[in-house]
Amino acid sequence: MRRILYVSSAAALACVVPTATPATADTSACTHHWSGPQICIRVEGRNDWNSVTGIWVNPPRGERSRAVRLTLNSRQLGQPQTARRVGSTLSYHWSAFDTGTGTKVCVRFDRINRLACDTTRYIGDRASF
């Protein structure tokens, strides 16, 4: 009876769980300075279609918002956006768009000379199990 139950459970699970899910190219990077502002970038997506989040990890308590700029290969994309406080950080999220692959994506907060950058990558149609 147990054997039938195990085999039935395994068969049911195989029908429900897909055999392959698309791999993503989600990455993040932060400035490596131990003092002063800590700036991070998070790139989420796949191949040339990504969303980007700029994060100021340690803003002063009184800082509620700050302009943040997004650059692709050193060229500013659109107008500066307003990062707002979420908990103890300031952040802004750009929805998914065509970043291209092999593109150096950077975020910079106004009045802070530090950049957080990452490079998009082509990962193909790989699948992870």
Please give the domain boundaries of the chain with CATH numbers for all domains: 20-128 (2.60.40)
The dihedral over CA atoms of 119, 75, 77, 41, expressed in degrees to the nearest 10, equals 30
Phi, then psi, of 9 in degrees rounded to 5: -65, -45
pLDDT value at residue 127: 53
3-state secondary structure of 4: helix
Query: In the numeric block, which tokens belong to residue 121?
Result: 């990558």
Q: Mean pLDDT over residues 14-38, rounded?
A: 61
Q: What is the pTM of this model?
A: 0.76
Q: What is the pLDDT of residue 32?
A: 79
Average pLDDT, rounded, for the chain: 82
60-75 pLDDT, tens digit per residue, is 999 999 999 999 999 9
54: number of Cβ within 10 Å: 25
Question: Which pLDDT belongs to residue 35?
Answer: 86
Q: Is 12 left (phi over 0), alpha (psi -120 to 50) or beta?
A: alpha
pLDDT band for 25, please (50, 70, 90 cuts).
Answer: low
